[in-house]
Amino acid sequence: MTGHIVAYKEEYHDQLVELWHRAVCSTHDFLTEEDLRFYYKMVKNGALRAVELWVCLNKDFKPVGFMGLDGSKIEMLFVDPQHHGRGAGSQLIRHAESLKGINLLSM
């Protein structure tokens, strides 16, 4: 997959919140329903705006992944489960490396 990496725009917010939810539900099976509701509210109400966000868009310019940077650290990286294994996450990491010299990923 060759996506387009773009800076966050407010118009992507709701799509990224839903992408986050799908990604977390598919990969974070240790979270309870209560945890998911708690984090969903955080993400929807401002957590995405607390970091420097970069979005990977597919050929139709729809978000398929995103990452949040804090200085030279990747604080969050989420890829839509339907696009796992297609290179969006790697492309976002390479973008962070070229942009900031990233050498730390926080999970």
Among 75, 79, 70, residue whose Cα is nearest residue 3: 79
Question: pLDDT per residue over 79-93, tens digit each?
Answer: 999 999 999 999 999
Q: What is the pLDDT of residue 3?
A: 82
Q: What is the pLDDT of residue 17?
A: 97
The C-alpha atoms of residue 95 and residue 20 are separated, in whole angstroms, by 20
| CATH at 37 | 3.40.630.30
What is the CA angle 14-17-20, rounded to 5?
Answer: 150
The C-alpha atoms of residue 64 and residue 68 are separated, in whole angstroms, by 14
Question: pLDDT per residue over 22-81, tens digit each?
Answer: 999 998 889 899 999 999 999 999 899 999 999 999 999 999 999 999 988 899 999 999
The C-alpha atoms of residue 101 and residue 82 are separated, in whole angstroms, by 29
Q: What is the pLDDT of residue 27?
A: 85
Q: The pTM is what?
A: 0.89
Range of the domain at 16: 4-105
